[in-house]
Structure formats: C-alpha cells, structure tokens
Amino acid sequence: MKILVPVKRVVDYNVKVRVKSDNSGVDIANVKMSMNPFDEIAVEEAVRLKEKGLATEVIAVSCGVAQCQETLRTAMAIGADRGILVETPADLDLQPLAVAKLLKALVDKEQPGLIILGKQAIDDDCNQTGQMLAALADLPQATFASKVEIVDGKAQVTREIDGGLETLAVSLPAVVTTDLRLNEPRYVTLPNIMKAKKKQLDTFKPEDLGVDVAPRIKTLKVAEPAKRSAGIKVPDVATLVDKLKNVAKVI
Amino acid sequence: MTSLVIAEHDNASIKGATLNTVTAAAACGGDVHVLVAGHNASAAAAAAAQIAGVAKVIHADSETLAHGLAENVAAQVLAIAGNYSHILFPATAGGKNVAPRVAAKLDVAQISDITKVDSADTFERPIYAGNAIATVQSTDATKVITVRTTGFDAAAATGGAAAVESAAAQADSGKSSFKGSEIAKNDRPELTAAKIIVSGGRALGSSEKFNEVMTPLADKLGAAIGASRAAVDAGYAANDLQVGQTGKIVAPQLYVACGISGAIQHLAGMKDSKVIVAINKDPEAPIFSVADFGLEADLFAAVPELTNAL
C-alpha cells in the first residue's frame, strides 16, 4: 500500500506575522517558512505505518511555489520515499479547492491506499483540503485523528470531537486528517537530511494534471484585529475578587 | 435567496452553536431553513422549529444519520443544496468535518470560520491564528460557510413556529462506520457556551493537580473547565478541553487563565472573552498583555485562595 502525504509550506509557527500597511495581506517576505505542523504529524504517521510494514511507499506532495521543494526535502528527511511538487506561480493565490483538485489528480495517478494530511494549515486556518479531496475522489474520510490503526483492510481511526473521542472504521482507500495528539514527529538527523537530497522529486504544473487552479475567493482586505489593551495588575486575591465583583461585575 | 443552516444536535436537542449559525444565516439575507439530519431526531427537529427567525425545518431521519458520518450527512445536504444560496454550518468539529465535502461536490470554495457578514457575498474571517482579519468575497453561486459561533449572537431558542418537513434519507455510503465514542460526562456547562471558563496550563504539573486546583474553582463559579494546548499535550486535561487556534474558540463573560503563559495559539482561542483574568507567577508571561486583571502569584496558593474568597 502506498501512502500519499500532502504537505504545505507555511510561515513558521513561531513567527508573529505582521499585516502589510496597504492591507493587501500579511508580510511574508524574509520570514522563516516551515512545514505546516499538522502535516509534519501526517508524514510521521505515514512513515511509522511503513516502519510497521503496513505500507510500501510514502510519497510526499506539495502544491505551491518552487521553494516547496524544501518542504518536500524535510518530509523525505523524516522518511518519505519520494516527493512530488505541483508548482504554481508565486503570484497565484492557491486555495484549498484547487489544491484538493490537484491532489485528486495525483490520487488517480498514484492509486494510494491511504492519504494522510494535516487537519488545517496554520496560515489560512481553513480546515478544508482533506475533506474536499475525500469528496472529489469519492473516498471516506476520518478527520482530526488521534489514533490510526489498519485492521482487516480498514483504517480504524480515533477522532477528536467536541466532548471527547469517537472511533470510525473506514474502508481503504481513505483520507485521514491529523490532530495534534496523533504522534510526536521525530527530529530530523543530518544523515537523513543528506539522504533526502538524493531522493526522487518530480515536478508537475497544474496544466499537466488538467486542473484549473483559479481562485474562487477574492481577498479584499487584510487588517489587524482589534487590539485588546492590557489591563491592570492586582496585588492580591482580595483585590482581584473586589475588581471582579464591583468593577467588571462578572461574578 | 434562502439560506440553509445545518443543525448541530444530539437527536434530542439542538446545540447552542446552531443558534449562532442561524443569526449568521439571517445576516446573509433572505429566509432561513434548518436541516436536522439524525436518527429518532423528532425532538431536535421540533426544537429547531422553535428558533426565532427560522422559516422551515427539514428533517431527515435514518439510522445512517445517527452518528453524523460526514459521507452520509454531506449526501443529505447535497440532495437539497440546489435550493439555497448559502449553506452554513457551525464551525464545530461536526460542521468542519462535513462542510468542505459539500463545497467540493458543488465545486465551490468554502469560506471557513466567518466572524462577520458584510454582505451576501462578502465575509470577515480570522487568519494566522487571529493575528489578521481577512475580508473575503466569494465569486461562487453557492456560498458554503462555517460560522465561528463567538462572532454572532445566539438567535432566540423559542418564539418561532416553523413548519417541519420530512425528507427522505439518502443511501448509506457503505464506506464508513461508527465504532464507538468516549464522551466525557459532566454537569458543567459546555465549554463553547459557558458564561465563565476557568482554564489551566502546563504549570499545574499533573492531571491530579489539575483536577485538585481547577475543579473547586470551577464548581464555585459554575464554570466550564478549559486547558491550554501544553496542558492537554502533557495529558493533564482531556483533548476536548483545549482552548486555542486548533482547539475550541471561546468568548465567555469571564475567562480565568491559571498558569497559562499565553502562546499566540492559545490567545487566538480566548482573546474575545469579555473579561480576562490571568494568574501566573512569571511577570513576563504574554497572557498579561491581554488580561484585564493580572495577578502575579503562584497558582497553587492563589487559586485555592480565590476559590475560598468567592
């Protein structure tokens, strides 16, 4: 069984982004970029399934600018066997529906038994791509996974839902999206980074896959959120209780 | 122009998130219909018909809809999607699971987590963990939307008198089945609907301490309990208590953060709370930058003292 792992290059989670002064977007020039943390968990899970002998090949895919190659190399350093870049122009606003269509084309081509990807990207916070891919490819989905087991040719997935956990069994092929508690990705070692440089990386254009990637949503404006001003420090619990009762009147 | 709201429910009753979503739907203009897809869900459908501002309730009932499987619920929505200009889901675990499936099948983009409706095709939504607010315009014929419930007031749960119409259930996808669930049972208010939330961080040190320190305070205040991602990752609190960018987004009247440093992704989940209290012994903790009242103290002394003083 092949596992396809889509990964996204995003602003590193430690960077506090700034809104551009012309309100056209956030400034990501010269900002550290990394693999979306949820996708890193997805790569780790796929590699673990391969290490357990449940998968034969792990293929990392990234859609976006040429620099996404670096993200794919990171995935290969974690243990993905090869990478596929679907390269799009730097000035294109690539949106989840278009990514899902590109991934659907690659699913048709590669015929994976499982597709594992992050539940959401930490830049646009959309939480859409996995579900959209599942719909387009007519596959079952198990989102927000905290545990994945392959049992009797099915994926048994524990999901994080409001109020607790639930377990689903989905037939394969299936789409699984990862939540934070699924695993802790390994540290990438230098020898593995060196090895990853030699792994196969193929590049396609959206036209090669016959996919229209034109955006459907126009961003009219990006603004700073309303600032919350810092309040006061109180010296002790008694003052705190007094403030809550008599100033804020919330208790 | 008519909007369809996909109800969040437990078959017996309508969940609060549905009410906020109805308000967002009304802001899009036109009539508001509500779909209740469930099993033995007549009571939930009847409750939906009572919501103020709802013109019609569509009730689809089948064992295949009992557990909200995305494949089956999406098929149910798609069967009637052609009648609607806007299809809105609450941005809950259930809504987020199903909405993109519907959007993709309709070949339209989804607008996630809206916090404001500017016009029928223009919406505001937070990006980068709430560090920026994007105003976006959809060019698609049908708008598929998830609604951040803290961005909209709840519609009145009573006062409406909508007709309830039955719809035939769609066939089971046959590809996914429900195996079981572990839902934490407690008498506390639901995290996303609570008026007061007390939230604990990594500083609590263990799940025993978390319960020992946080539970009495929550009991005293009649509050829901939340946790930071660090506390959840460390196993001190259950995953469904996580407040933050990738957990629950909350906006209670009072949020009491105990031993939470205030990472960006945590602030993203609670900074719209009306009053924020931070108790932390680190004077430099970022949580103090958003707190109305900060108490620089050891939480193991201050929180019990606060509990006793209330």
Write the ipTM: 0.94
Is there a contact between A160 and B290 if contact means CB atoms under 8 Å apart? no
pLDDT band at B185 (very low <50, low <70, confident <90, very high): confident
The percent helix, strand, coil of chain A (3-state, each to 5) is: 30, 30, 40
> CB contacts < 8 Å between A and B, how many?
260
What does the angle CA A215 – CA B111 – CA B12 come to, to the nearest 5 degrees?
150
Percentage of residues in chain A having pLDDT higher than 90: 94
Q: Report whether pLDDT(A230) > 80.
A: no
For chain B, the average pLDDT equals 96
Residue A31: C-alpha distances to residues A25, A179, B62, B184, B266 (Å)? 14, 25, 51, 41, 22
For chain A, the average pLDDT equals 96
What pLDDT does residue B261 have? 97
Q: Report whether pLDDT(B183) > 90.
A: no
Q: Report whether pLDDT(B151) > 80.
A: yes
Please tell me which of the candidates A122, A225, A230 has its beta carbon nearest to residue B291.
Answer: A230
pLDDT band at A100 (very low <50, low <70, confident <90, very high): very high
pLDDT by residue (tens digit) across A114-132? 999 999 999 999 999 999 9
Letter for the amino acid at B130? G
* Chain B residues close to A228, C-beta within 8 Å: 271, 276, 290
pLDDT band at A226 (very low <50, low <70, confident <90, very high): confident
What would the mean pLDDT of A48-69 be, rounded to a whole number?
Answer: 98
What pLDDT does residue B156 have? 97
The DSSP secondary-structure symbol of A227 reads: P
* Chain B residues close to A173, C-beta within 8 Å: none
pLDDT by residue (tens digit) across B111-149? 999 999 999 999 999 999 999 999 999 999 999 999 999
Strands A164-171 and B176-183, how do they pair? antiparallel
What pLDDT does residue B288 have? 96
What pLDDT does residue B184 have? 78
What would the mean pLDDT of A128-146 be, rounded to a whole number?
Answer: 98
Is there a contact between A225 and B100 if contact means CB atoms under 8 Å apart? no
What would the mean pLDDT of A53-78 be, rounded to a whole number?
Answer: 98
pLDDT by residue (tens digit) across A171-216? 999 999 999 999 999 999 999 999 999 999 999 999 999 999 999 9
Is there a contact between B239 and A230 if contact means CB atoms under 8 Å apart? no
The DSSP secondary-structure symbol of A66 reads: T
pLDDT by residue (tens digit) across B241-251? 999 988 999 99
Element at B167 (helix H, strand E): strand B163-167
Residue whose C-alpha is closest to residue B101's, from B146, B49, B65: B146
Strands B196-200 and B224-227, how do they pair? parallel
Q: Report whether pLDDT(B186) > 90.
A: no
* Chain B residues close to A22, C-beta within 8 Å: none
Please tell me which of the candidates B71, B146, B275 has its beta carbon nearest to residue A248.
Answer: B275
What pLDDT does residue A229 have? 79
What pLDDT does residue B224 have? 97
Is there a contact between B127 and A124 if contact means CB atoms under 8 Å apart? yes
What crossing angle do the helices spanning A68-78 and A190-197 adopt, rounded to 10°?
Answer: 120
Is there a contact between A220 and B112 if contact means CB atoms under 8 Å apart? no
Residue whose C-alpha is closest to residue B228's, from B208, B205, B212: B205
